[in-house]
Structure 1
């Protein structure tokens, strides 16, 4: 079955996107990413080097792969900061496929500032950037981001790095119903089953970083995430049975012989 993920003008075979933070070194980052079969890796360009050639450079580690880089604006707290950052990154690398992330609460929840995110999305999309916008799990905000030009909306499952899994399954479904661009569940995934649940809810893709990078065996967890996303997607497409409040026999009782 050919079931690809399309975001704006790009098409991906994998519905799993991975992050690059918190790994012990770039070599492990690459090994885990390859094990995940992800075709896109997001990079916090304020924290991880992809531009300076005379320093250890993550982009160089991946130059012999077909994995695409998705620069993100982690560390930015205003629309202006994010806009300037992405302009500089495009100038330095030519990359205009970006993850817009503007944090409102930098001390405790790391929740996004959705107002600043919408403002930045409007400007960046008009300048030709393909914006994947990190957001709260609010269907109204998702609609505003789509109207602002977002190519995909990325609602959190739970606070960044918490590993709590999807805290509001209904909202993910509501967002999927509210917008036509891809919905990518991002942040809070803790294990493979969380990724499978996100896909079973109808999400188009899942992005996870901490769950892989901080696992006791990151490479094995990356592979587990790969199969969880595939399994969850197939389960969604197959169509689950209706939930009932009473039992239903698995085998038919009609025509049973009297013994």
Structure 2
């Protein structure tokens, strides 16, 4: 059945998000950082409806403040762990931390988890990812059997190179991490979406549910949102709002928006009108 023939209920059922052969019903991924308490984190993750949760391997391994016991704080029978290489400034560091992340996932019961969110960020002020280091690390990690989800600038050529290297997704930033500036790279993200044959996950910069919906309306396959939820005045309410916005944006994309016109178009037809 074509999308045009489907009822709203059928559209809501949608096809699952599939990454590296694994299927997920939710198209929202969330993080574990910046929450005030573990309980607040648990309740917010549950409210979001997400199934994939990213965990900073280095911060868990070193028991960084706010990360002591984090890996054990969530139910990994229900959630899929996405270890990330946050804090790594070089490809070599990221490769080493990715290997630790895979072992951490295995220790927590996810024996077949080869996922890694790849971050190579030498820039400590703007937190912009290094495109060369990211491609180098991704190429090696794919060879080692990882399902690599690379965090990148909204660069269509880099996205294509990473896809050709065997990455499971590409994850362009909407705007700098934690900035809440929204989708500042819409034109480039649209190009990435139109040309990708792997899922496109918009990651970083989303601050409001309307921005989450915007990214999904553009045709993104999924979103990763952390700061906008964790640092909201009411994280649980914001998590729920982000989940609803992700679904609404996806449904709007499947429904197909009207064309933008330079002129007005009456909602009611002029034919058949009663005239005096």
TM-score by structure 1 length?
0.95
1:50/1:131 CA distance change after superposition, 3 Å = farther
Query: Corresponding residue for 2:7?
Result: none
1:234/1:50 CA distance change after superposition, 3 Å = farther
1:104 to 86, 109, 122: 122
Query: Corresponding residue for 1:206?
Result: 223
Query: Counterparts of 1:256 and 1:93 in 2: how far apart (Å)?
Result: 67
2:198 aligned with 1:181: yes
Q: CA deviation at 1:9?
A: 1.3
RMSD: 1.6
Query: Counterparts of 2:76 and 2:209 in 1: how far apart (Å)?
Result: 28
2:171 aligned with 1:159: no
2:36 aligned with 1:19: no
Query: Counterparts of 1:196 and 1:38 in 2: how far apart (Å)?
Result: 15
Where does the alignment leave 5 or more consecutive residues of structure 2 unmatched? 1-9, 107-112
Could you give the per-residue CA deviations for residues 72-103 of structure 1, whole angstroms, max 9, x where no partner exists?
00100111001111112223432421100111
CA contact under 8 A between 1:15 and 1:204: conserved in structure 2?
A: yes
Query: Corresponding residue for 2:40?
Result: 28
Query: Counterparts of 1:228 and 1:88 in 2: how far apart (Å)?
Result: 34
Q: Aligned to 2:59, what secondary structure does the other structure show?
A: coil
Query: Counterparts of 1:188 and 1:168 in 2: how far apart (Å)?
Result: 10
Query: Corresponding residue for 2:3?
Result: none
Q: CA deviation at 1:50?
A: 9.8
Query: Counterparts of 1:155 and 1:23 in 2: how far apart (Å)?
Result: 24
Q: Which runs of 4+ in 1 moved over 3 A?
A: 48-51
Query: Corresponding residue for 1:128?
Result: 145
Query: Corresponding residue for 1:7?
Result: 19
Q: CA deviation at 1:64?
A: 6.6
CA contact under 8 A between 1:160 and 1:187: conserved in structure 2?
A: yes
Could you give the per-residue CA deviations for residues 178-197 of structure 1, whole angstroms, max 9, x where no partner exists?
21000000000001111000
Query: Counterparts of 2:55 and 2:166 in 1: how far apart (Å)?
Result: 22
1:132/1:203 CA distance change after superposition, 3 Å = same
CA contact under 8 A between 2:101 and 2:116: conserved in structure 1?
A: no
2:274 aligned with 1:257: yes
Q: Aligned to 1:102, what secondary structure does the other structure show?
A: coil
CA contact under 8 A between 1:49 and 1:57: conserved in structure 2?
A: no
1:125/1:101 CA distance change after superposition, 3 Å = same
Query: Counterparts of 2:76 and 2:119 in 1: how far apart (Å)?
Result: 28
Query: Corresponding residue for 1:242?
Result: 259
Q: CA deviation at 1:169?
A: 1.2
